[in-house]
Amino acid sequence: MTIMMTSCKSYVQVYETKSTNTSVENGFYVYENDSLKITYSFWAENGLITFAIYNKLNVPLYVDWKKSSYIQNSLKLNYWEDKIITKGTSINRSYYYDGPLLYPGYAVSKSVNNSVSSSTKIERITFIPPTSNFFRTQFYILPLNNIPVDKSFRKLEIPRKDKPNKTTKIHEKTYLFENSPLIFRNYLTFSYSEGFESEFYVDNQFYISKVTKIDRKVFFKWKLDENDEWVEKSLYQKENIFFTLPSK
């Protein structure tokens, strides 16, 4: 493996998130009721929404993707369309992830082909067997651009996560739900029958609570993965998002 070193300094923006109606377990957002458990992870560049739906019941559970949506601020994005989805250049299409199936924690599922087709027909109704998981990865949270760092950001010097005896300079800004630059929701429609004679809904809501600009060399560290290959890994949590800024 070749590593190219440059003199240009690059940065990463870390977007910390909070939720209004889920809990945090081991770095993942979790929503749970008597019928199901949904586990979320956003940890990928530009924020990739990956979630697992676990059917807790001893009977099947069904999801109607036509009646389900990802909602970013006021923008509604469809999980299902009655047509073949083709890679395009429209602004909404840039929100759609077109890579291999993932599950929370961002390990690639071994049950799917990793090749990516330019056209895909997505099923409308998903059948989830009793006591089993279904995984979904479809949307980016920040596909277009980052939040500009301006005078409203505080300049701080904080201990490094990898070497607490050393410090690093950062820029950061915190937000409440009311003034967050981004509120996003996952709205899902479920039924206990394939005909959806009766339905129930889950509406999980999240928002960006802090933006931190940090040196890429502090944010990423080279580590061995489970395959003994060197990869860049971070010390931040899976409920956060990151966005790499251009070198300067």
**What are 175-193's pLDDT values in tens digits?**
999 999 999 999 999 999 9
The pLDDT, as a whole number, for residue 7 is 41
The pLDDT, as a whole number, for residue 112 is 38
d(Cα 53, Cα 40) in Å, to the nearest integer? 9
Would 166 be classed as within a structural domain?
yes
Would 3 be classed as within a structural domain?
no
Would 6 be classed as within a structural domain?
no
Lowest mean pLDDT among 3-12, 132-141, 163-172: 3-12
Would 2 be classed as within a structural domain?
no
State the DSSP code for 153.
S
Q: Where are the strands (E) in 199-244, listed by range? A: 200-215, 220-224, 230-234, 241-244
- What is the residue range of 187's domain? 11-244
Q: What pairing do the DSSP bridges indicate for beta strands 167-174 and 154-159?
A: antiparallel
d(Cα 218, Cα 200) in Å, to the nearest integer? 45
Q: pTM for this one? A: 0.82
In this structure, what token pair is assigned to residue 227?
Answer: 């395959």
In this structure, what token pair is assigned to residue 67?
Answer: 């009646």
Would 5 be classed as within a structural domain?
no
Would 4 be classed as within a structural domain?
no
In this structure, what token pair is assigned to residue 201?
Answer: 């809904």
For 109-125, b/e burial (b = at least 16 CB within 10 A) is eeeeeeeeeeeeeeeee
Name residues whose C-beta falls within 8 Å of residue 184's C-beta, 6 or more positions apart in sequence: 49, 70, 71, 72, 73, 141, 205, 206, 207
Would 16 be classed as within a structural domain?
yes
Domains identified in the chain, total number:
1
With 70 as the cut, is the pLDDT of residue 116 above it?
Answer: no
Name residues whose C-beta falls within 8 Å of residue 37's C-beta, 6 or more positions apart in sequence: 30, 31, 53, 54, 56
